[in-house]
Structure 1
Amino acid sequence: MNTTIIGLDKKETESLAKDLNGLLANFQVYYQNLRGLHWNIKGKSFFELHVKFEEFYTDSQEKIDLIAERILTLGGTPLHTFNDYTELAKVPVGKNVTNDVEAVQLVVTSLSELLKIERIILEASGEANDEGTNSMMSDFIAEQEKTIWMLNAWLQ
């Protein structure tokens, strides 16, 4: 039998689980960046951005759990070490970022990287008839595109 218990092709689900692990790694770096931005932001935008970064990291934490659970649903094992995350991550690491514009730009850049990965997974999950993963990616993409639009409006 070449299908999983949820009726998807085994090879396709293995590939999707691998791609989702890459997304998981990138989300973990993004999450940690947001924690650092929340803690270290300074300046006249402190109150506004301190709260916004907390909102973003809380949302990211939920998405991280959804991604890991989807990997498990597909029969894979979610990555769970910092070594794995840093090896796979394309999201830039933001260290000691305190400036408001630099912080918001880091979030925009990070979300842009996440979108690239999510669009690859969206296409692959569509081809595999994996509606669960496809729907998740579609939801993530729509939300992140709106966030980028709002953050770019703030930057201008």
Structure 2
Amino acid sequence: METTTLGLDESKVNELATDLNELLANYQIYYQNLRGLHWNIKGKNFFQLHEKFEELYNDSQLKIDEIAERILTLESTPLHTFDDYTELSKVPVGKNISKDVEAVTLVVTSLKQLIQIERDILEKSGEADDEGTNAMMSDFISEQEKTVWMLKAWLA
């Protein structure tokens, strides 16, 4: 078995890097959606949601950097073009959304997709004994599950 500098199975790490690049692409679309929601939200919930979307896009920007740096740590190259992002992303693109319920629903749908990708990576990183990626995914998932709960409570 060929191993990386970190002592991990090279073939498993290559697969993880590919999956992390898919997650990176989805986060980039999610981030851009949040920026658009922040800019375009209207209505009685404007102040509350304008602030929430800013909080979420700032958080996703940090996660994007963490994901890219993890890919580099695994000795691979993070994707960095919008062509790559749109090709790989499963997160729906939200265009010209200004209504509160539609906006929050998009965020919940996007987070559900991100969590699914992260759970897949969590399983694979566990099998690869990649504690760094495993810990990152675990942290992302637990935080996002709470956000989904709160947003669903808002939608109710």
**TM-score between both structures, scaled by the size of structure 2:** 0.99
1:111 equivalent in alignment to 2:111? yes
Mapped partners of 1:74, 1:14: distance in 2: 8
Q: How many residues align?
A: 156
- Counterpart for residue 85 of structure 1: 85
Displacement after TM superposition at 1:94 (Å): 0.1
Amino-acid identity (%): 74
Q: Give SS of 1:43's match.
A: coil
Q: Which runs of 4+ in 1 moved over 4 A?
A: none
Mapped partners of 1:40, 1:5: distance in 2: 46
1:129 equivalent in alignment to 2:129? yes
- Counterpart for residue 43 of structure 2: 43
Structure 2: runs of 5+ lacking an equivalent: none
1:68 equivalent in alignment to 2:47? no
Q: Give SS of 1:107's match.
A: helix
Report the residue type matching 1:78 in the other structure.
Answer: P
Question: Any idea what the Cα deviations from partners look like across 1:19-76, whole Å, max 9, x if unmatched?
Answer: 0000000000000000000000000000000000000000000000000000000011
Mapped partners of 2:26, 2:138: distance in 1: 17
Mapped partners of 1:10, 1:34: distance in 2: 35
Displacement after TM superposition at 1:139 (Å): 0.2
Report the residue type matching 1:127 in the other structure.
Answer: E
- Counterpart for residue 11 of structure 2: 11
Displacement after TM superposition at 1:87 (Å): 0.2
Mapped partners of 1:27, 1:63: distance in 2: 8
Structure 1: runs of 5+ lacking an equivalent: none
